[in-house]
Amino acid sequence: METNINHSNAHTSHDDQGHHEHQELKFWQKYIFSVDHKVIGIQYAITALLFLLLGFALMGYMRYQLAYPDTAAPYGFGKALTALVGQEMAPDGKMSGALYNSFGAMHGTIMVFLAIVPLAVGAFGNFVVPLQVGAGDMAFPKLNAASYWTYLPGGVIMLISFFVPGGAAKSGWTSYAPLSVISDHGPAFHPIMNGQTLWLIGMTVLIFSSLLGSVNMIVTIVQLRAKGLTWMRLPYFVWAQFVTAFLLLLAFPPLQAAGVMQLMDRIAGTSFFMPTGLVVNGQIWDHSGGGSPLLWQHLFWFLAHPEVYVLILPALGIVAEVVSNNTRKPIWGYKSMVYATLFLGVVSFTVWAHHMYLTGMGTKVSSFFQTTTIIISIPSVIILSCLVISLYGGSIRFNTPMLFAVAFMPMFGLGGLTGIPLAFNATNIVLHDTYYVIGHFHYIVAPGTIFAMFAGIYYWYPKATGRKMSEFLGKLHFWPSLILMNGIFMPMFFQGLAGVHRRWHTGGVVNGEALFEVTKHALHWNSFMSWSAWLLAVAQIPFIINFFWAWKRGEKVGDNPWEATTLEWNTPTPPPHGNFLKEPIVYRGPYEYSVPGEDKDFTPSWEEPKKSKTDLVNL
Amino acid sequence: MDIPYTVNNRPDTGLYNAKLGMWLFLASEVMLFGGLFSAYIFLRLGADDGMWPHQILDVKPAFINTMILIISSVTIVQSWAAVKMGNLKKFKLYMGMTILLASAFVGIKSYEYYTKVHHYGLITNTRIQVTGYLDQDKTNDQVVAIIPDKHQAFESGKKFMETKLEAGAVSAGHHEPILFQRSDLVWFSNFMPRYNTFFAIYFTMTALHALHVIGAIVVLAYFWGPGSKMFHTNRAQFANRIEVVGLFWHFVELVWIFLFPVLYLL
Amino acid sequence: MASTENPEQIKQIVKQHWVIAGLLFTLILISIGIAQIPFVTWAHMAIGLGISFVMASLVLWFFMHLSNERKLIYQVMVFSVIFSIVLVALSLLAYFDHSGYNVKY
């Protein structure tokens, strides 16, 4: 670390000494209210993984309802459901329509805002980025802790909302007005302790947390890069986090504004999103009117489309790191990947209304958004192509992180390609709100992003704990997961093309008869997909065992077990508070693998060049 | 463990951490208020003809508030200059003034909110919108007695008042209440957010802005009080802190510069 | 502008702030005055917002001393301003271009 930054300040050395005294911290200071980015990263990781499991559990119940409509789940699962959410929402273990809606909305909310984003940005961003840029910590350590400690209450508020009268929010994760404003509203409900209002409050808190995190991330990357670590020497993962942080910083506030307005609609009786003359249950809604439901959609999707790239960019970053490390060669087209990512970040702010083709948008606007949406597929294809080409000619080590990273590519590709028919407004009209859409974005997020997250966990676990996770259990985790993921999501395309609607809470069947003749032949997939989902849950058991077992019992490893080149492997393992023993200096690009003429197949970026001094430090 | 560039600028970026952090935060604030202003535009466009009020709010308190913010912008830079010059007393004086001015802003804003509670408006089933104060004695379950405002903010209200005056139904001083049957009214409420979309956006935006002011008061008070210890231990960093909080304070003023004409004048 | 100013410059900065404050004061009076003149609505809008933009630029340029700030800061602010304009402009475009039926949104 640079210590000579302030000559006039005699207290710098004083603080240093103070710090050494602080080494003897109490347990709760060290592991609970820590300001160390690594501890906060691990806190984020564990919390987010728990939420991931919860979101999955909600889906497990929903899939039961879809496969075996209006029957109680066996083996006590149905009873447990009733015990948790009450007889009204789950009569005799059966899932009511309201509970199905509620679980659907909360599955989306939890997965996006409480699981994947905190895992990708909060956990990996926090843990890895300062290490990779050679910083001692994030730029604002206290702010970093504050970000976690606002994220957690946000999650707790969302959890509480399951147990209030009427249950959790049930207007979809998109929370479209006016449906969301009129739900759980009226004298029978508490003005604040009801599902939708708590959802809005929870979201406001979460957005605040993400704001703190993203400011911190950008400042860390801009200001705390090690000596010699120029922009084009940054690992691609850092670039991905950098653009992600900008997306979070600039896309979230409009939703914050929209959330506050919807909160006003629900609590203060305003009409921001409530049109004139709205009739609910045969009665004119008591409001002044004049609001615009489409305004909510604009503000929501202005966030939620960039949010898609928030979900995917860190995943691409992790895959790039793992692929380069395990093919033992530089990633192909590093610069084009970086520029593609920057371009992707900018354009992602101009595509949001492709979620709104069915709102009566005119041809001009539809064409505009159709065009930008197709344009944004270009940088995604560039990045994915670079990753695939990187595999070519490498002597690949198929360890667990690499398996997940390699599987990510076709899965993400499938998700991306099936998105193109949704980008065109003509085909979108047919596919909108069917299972096709669900299949499309789940291919990107589930076997896509989540696989990349697993790759990241297996890859950086040795750095965080000093021990490797078991390869055998890892493979036992990977192969069933890959097959079962496809078992869940591939049939969604078949169903969607047949016209199965995404919100039928009995899976398109009523009293044993298909709801619509046209979808009849596609409904038998329901139970197949459900069984795949439950078996996928079973397939996660090796991972959970592995995760905790390896913490104490895993194979001990050195500082650089993967023989990697980026800066995070230049620290002691696990890294102490302050990370680096001496100030790291970077001499070369991030992926110098198999450099001809070198004695080993990796040249760490921190190793002083032996032969020439020509490409020495240029800050 | 020390974080570098908390005091001095990083050579290649020319910035210290907190300044970059603050500007990033302000960028996200631009988007926050951008979202709200786009809502304002949507609501104004979407309002039925004649339903969007024109200069319904009293300009005087808002004008005073504008002045307060402009002056406090100067006092806060004075306090920063005092830190730079090494004059703690002067710093405390100017920082104290800034805090007082900011508190006065919140006070006047609260007064404005308070007046809205007693200000009423109604819409008849013939789409006439009349604003004014309630005559409590004559208002009951069936009848709303309203003492109309001299300057009606809605066209329909102005026309209504003119015809009433011609008919001699209202005295010149407008002190006589006009009685409306409740069954003839489609909407009747005081000027709280629910009255119409204008008041909804007015309250939401100004309250959010006032929250920023209150947040600033808390931070400024911290620097004025316990935080000022840093003046002795690390003056350079303390000056940076004042500069950064000053950036935030100027931004709060900048938002007000748009809020004032948009809500009060146009 | 951390730790680069000498006392003379600091005095200059404070003086400059007083001048700008006076300018802002004048501009706010002008905009209140103009609001009393019965123009058509769009003219009021244009003039009122025009004056606001001038005032905002003064605040940004002098009070927040963008006048002597780094490129990085400009880039951040330019992006946020562009994106908020995109938000407003494209939503409005969608508002005015709707297919066939004439509804109030």
**Residue B167 clears pLDDT 90, i.e. is over it:** no
pLDDT band at residue B104 under the 50/70/90 scheme: very high
Express as a percent the part of chain A with pLDDT over 70.
Answer: 95
Cβ burial A3-33 (10 Å sphere, 16+ → b, else e): eebbeebeebeeeeeeeeeeeeeeeeeeeee
Cβ–Cβ gap A350/C104 under 8 Å: no
**How many Å apart are CA B67 and CA C25, to the nearest integer?**
7
Domain annotation covers residue A22: no
Contact by Cβ (8 Å): A244, A313: yes
Q: What pLDDT does A322 receive?
A: 96
pLDDT band at residue B85 under the 50/70/90 scheme: very high
The arithmetic mean of pLDDT across residues A156-173, rounded, is 93
Q: Which residues in chain A have Cβ-Cβ distances shorter than 8 Å to C99?
A: 360-363
C42 CB-near residues (< 8 Å, 6+ apart): none
**How many Å apart are CA C2 and CA B236, to the nearest integer?**
8
**Residue A12 clears pLDDT 80, i.e. is over it:** no
Number of domains in chain A: 1
Q: Which residues in chain C have Cβ-Cβ distances shorter than 8 Å to A364?
A: 93, 97
The arithmetic mean of pLDDT across residues A142-153, rounded, is 96
Element (DSSP H or E) covering residue A210: helix A195-223
pLDDT band at residue A208 under the 50/70/90 scheme: very high
B31, B253, B258 member nearest C83 (Cβ):
B31
**Residue A342 clears pLDDT 60, i.e. is over it:** yes
Residue C18 C-alpha, separation from nearest chain A C-alpha, in angstroms: 32
Q: Which CATH architecture is the domain B17-115+197-265 placed in?
A: Up-down Bundle (1.20)
User: What Cα–Cα distance (Å) separates residue B17 from each residue in A16, B26, B208?
Assistant: 19, 14, 27
Q: Which residues in chain C have Cβ-Cβ distances shorter than 8 Å to B59?
A: 32, 35
The ranges assigned to domains in chain B are 17-115+197-265, 119-190
Q: Which residues in chain A have Cβ-Cβ distances shorter than 8 Å to C87?
A: 254, 298-299, 302, 349
**Residue A600 clears pLDDT 70, i.e. is over it:** yes
Please provide the distance, in angstroms rounded to a whole number, between the alpha carbons at the two ends of chain C: 48
Q: What pLDDT does C68 receive?
A: 82
Q: What pLDDT does A305 receive?
A: 92
Residue A558 amino acid letter:
G
Cβ–Cβ gap B204/A5 under 8 Å: no
**How many Å apart are CA B83 and CA B227, to the nearest integer?**
13
Contact by Cβ (8 Å): A75, A34: no
Cβ–Cβ gap C24/B30 under 8 Å: no
Residue B125 touches partner C, C-beta closer than 8 Å = no
Q: What pLDDT does A9 receive?
A: 39
* Backbone angles phi and psi of A280, in degrees to 5: -120, 125
**How many Å apart are CA A603 and CA A616, to the nearest integer?**
15
Residue B98 touches partner C, C-beta closer than 8 Å = no
Report field, pTM of the whole predicted structure over 0.90: yes
**How many Å apart are CA B41 and CA B33, to the nearest integer?**
12
Task: Find residues 209-248 of chain A whose CB sits inside 8 Å of chain C.
Answer: 222, 246
Q: What pLDDT does C101 receive?
A: 47
Nearest Cα to Cα of residue A292 among A261, A266, A263: A261
Q: Which residues in chain B have Cβ-Cβ distances shorter than 8 Å to C18?
A: 74
pLDDT digit string (tens) for A357-394?
888 888 889 999 999 999 999 999 999 999 999 999 88
The subunits that touch chain C, with at least 3 C-beta pairs less than 8 Å apart, are A, B
pLDDT digit string (tens) for A99-144?
999 999 999 999 999 999 999 999 999 999 999 999 999 999 999 9
Q: Which residues in chain C have Cβ-Cβ distances shorter than 8 Å to B247?
A: 64
**Residue A349 clears pLDDT 50, i.e. is over it:** yes
Interface test with A, best of C90, C93, C98, C104 (most A CBs within 10 A): C90
| Longest CA pairwise span in chain B (Å) | 82
Q: What pLDDT does A203 receive?
A: 95
Domain annotation covers residue A337: yes
> Per-residue pLDDT for chain C (105 aa), expressed as one digit of tens each?
444 678 888 888 899 999 999 999 999 999 999 888 887 878 888 899 999 999 999 999 999 988 888 888 999 999 999 999 999 999 888 888 876 444 544
A5 CB-near residues (< 8 Å, 6+ apart): A12, B2, B4, B5, B6, B7, B8
Residue holding tokens 């990512």?
A341
User: What Cα–Cα distance (Å) separates residue A37 from each residue in A128, A148, A212?
Assistant: 9, 10, 14
Residue A260 C-alpha, separation from nearest chain B C-alpha, in angstroms: 8
Region for A431 from its dihedrals, namely left if φ exceeds 0, alpha if ψ lies in -120 to 50, beta otherwise: alpha
pLDDT band at residue A24 under the 50/70/90 scheme: low
pLDDT band at residue B168 under the 50/70/90 scheme: low
Q: Check which CATH number belongs to the domain holding A573 and give it.
A: 1.20.210.10
Average pLDDT, chain A: 90
pLDDT band at residue A27 under the 50/70/90 scheme: confident
Q: What pLDDT does A586 receive?
A: 94
Q: What pLDDT does B170 receive?
A: 59
A276, A363, A368 member nearest C99 (Cβ):
A363
**Residue A616 clears pLDDT 80, i.e. is over it:** no
Q: What pLDDT does C4 receive?
A: 60
Residue B48 touches partner C, C-beta closer than 8 Å = yes
Asked if the peptide bond before residue A574 counts as cis, ω within 30 degrees of 0, the response is: yes
A251, A254, A362 member nearest C98 (Cβ):
A362
Q: What pLDDT does A7 receive?
A: 39
Q: What pLDDT does A109 receive?
A: 96
**How many Å apart are CA A140 and CA A129, to the nearest integer?**
14
- Say how many CB pairs under 8 Å bridge A and C: 54
Cβ–Cβ gap B239/C2 under 8 Å: yes
Residue C78 C-alpha, separation from nearest chain A C-alpha, in angstroms: 12
Cβ burial A153-177 (10 Å sphere, 16+ → b, else e): ebbebbbebbebebbbbbbbbbbeb
Sign of the torsion angle spanned by Cα atoms B113, B114, B117, B123: negative
Interface test with C, best of A218, A242, A247, A365 (most C CBs within 10 A): A365
Domain annotation covers residue A349: yes
Q: How many CB atoms lie within 10 A of CB A396?
A: 14
**How many Å apart are CA B70 and CA A272, to the nearest integer?**
31
The arithmetic mean of pLDDT across residues A583-600, rounded, is 90
Give ipTM to 2 decimals: 0.94
Q: Which of A49-53, A326-330, A441-445, B169-173 has the lowest mean pLDDT?
A: B169-173
Q: What pLDDT does A23 receive?
A: 54
Sign of the torsion angle spanned by Cα atoms A568, A571, A572, A577: negative
Q: Which of A2-16, A323-337, A557-571, C90-104 has the lowest mean pLDDT?
A: A2-16
A250, A295, A361 member nearest C83 (Cβ):
A250
Q: What pLDDT does A508 receive?
A: 87
Interface test with B, best of A223, A229, A302, A348 (most B CBs within 10 A): A223
Q: Which residues in chain A have Cβ-Cβ distances shorter than 8 Å to C80?
A: 250
Residue A299 amino acid letter:
L
State whether residue A226 is helix, strand or coil: coil
Domain annotation covers residue A14: no
Residue B266 C-alpha, separation from nearest chain A C-alpha, in angstroms: 19
The arithmetic mean of pLDDT across residues B96-120, rounded, is 95
Please provide the distance, in angstroms rounded to a whole number, between the alpha carbons at the two ends of chain A: 15
Nearest Cα to Cα of residue A249 among B23, B212, B219, C96: B23
Q: Which residues in chain A have Cβ-Cβ distances shorter than 8 Å to B25?
A: 211, 215
* Backbone angles phi and psi of A501, in degrees to 5: -80, 145
**How many Å apart are CA C66 and CA C20, to the nearest integer?**
14
Residue C84 C-alpha, separation from nearest chain B C-alpha, in angstroms: 5
Residue A6 C-alpha, separation from nearest chain C C-alpha, in angstroms: 11
B8, B34, B85 member nearest C3 (Cβ):
B8
Q: What pLDDT does B173 receive?
A: 55
Residue B25 touches partner C, C-beta closer than 8 Å = no
